[in-house]
């Protein structure tokens, strides 16, 4: 993974600049090399912008995206602002990262241990009185369902141990018929 930062100085017509990037973003949305992106405007100097684009790799950006079918359309939208670029560089993430505490975790927001204890208790009360779950009984469905539930249970158990250090970024398979997405790590 590589992160591209582009600094712009756009003193005239910032609304047109942002509109051009909103249109150009459609090409980034379709690019398989693009993980995510964000255009930010400086509050201290409103003419200053930073565009952050996370690419799967520097080569995927410079050779894959720039050499691909989507780049001409992307460039056509932002061409009037190329001269406004002050800096454009690629960066690799380091291990120094974290999250602040300005927004509570889902666990905290839900009410913490007490809330989840009540939820678990209520869940098991309902399960014991419902003797028919009503799911399809064909073997393929049951195997896929059980596999997904077992995966989630193992993951939850491993990551909820007192000394666990769950990865901050990991693939999340979508429930399906046994096919997990590729891991790009």
Burial class (CB in 10 A: 0-12, 13-18, 19+), 46: exposed
Pairwise CA distance, residues 76 & 142, whole Å: 51
Judge whether 53 and 28 are in contact, CB under 8 Å: yes
Q: Where are the domains of the chain?
A: 2-91, 111-159
Q: How far is CA 113 from the centre of its chain?
A: 27
Locate 85 and state its tokens.
Answer: 């670029």
Say what the pLDDT of residue 85 is. Answer: 97
Question: What φ, ψ does residue 160 adopt, rounded to 5°?
Answer: -105, 5
Q: Which of 180, 23, 8, 172 is nearest to 86 (CA)?
A: 8
6 has a pLDDT exceeding 90:
yes
pLDDT at 109 (0 to 100): 84
User: Can you give the pTM of this predicted structure?
Assistant: 0.60
Bridge partners, residue 52, by sequence: 5, 38
pLDDT at site 183:
45
Residue 179 pLDDT: 53
Average pLDDT over residues 115-137: 82
| Residues linked to residue 6 through DSSP beta bridges, in sequence order | 51, 88
Reply yes or no on domain 2-91 having CATH 3.30.70.100.
yes
Q: Does residue 171 carry a pLDDT above 80? A: no
């Amino acid at each position: 993974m590589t992160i591209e930062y582009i600094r712009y100085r756009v003193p005239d017509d910032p609304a047109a600049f942002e509109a051009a990037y909103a249109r150009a973003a459609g090409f980034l949305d379709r690019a398989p090399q693009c993980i995510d992106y964000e255009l930010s405007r400086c509050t201290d100097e409103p003419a200053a912008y930073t565009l952050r684009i996370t690419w799967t790799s520097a080569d995927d950006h410079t050779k894959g995206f720039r050499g691909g079918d989507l780049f001409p359309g992307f460039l056509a939208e932002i061409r009037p602002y190329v001269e406004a670029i002050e800096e454009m560089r690629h960066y690799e993430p380091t291990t120094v990262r974290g999250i602040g505490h300005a927004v509570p975790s889902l666990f905290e927001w839900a009410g913490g241990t007490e809330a989840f204890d009540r939820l678990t208790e209520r869940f098991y009360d309902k399960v014991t009185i419902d003797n028919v779950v009503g799911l399809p009984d064909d073997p393929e469905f049951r195997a896929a369902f059980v596999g997904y539930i077992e995966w989630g249970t193992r993951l939850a158990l491993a990551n909820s141990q007192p000394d666990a250090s769950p990865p901050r970024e990991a693939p999340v398979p979508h429930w399906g018929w046994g096919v997990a997405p590729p891991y790009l790590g």
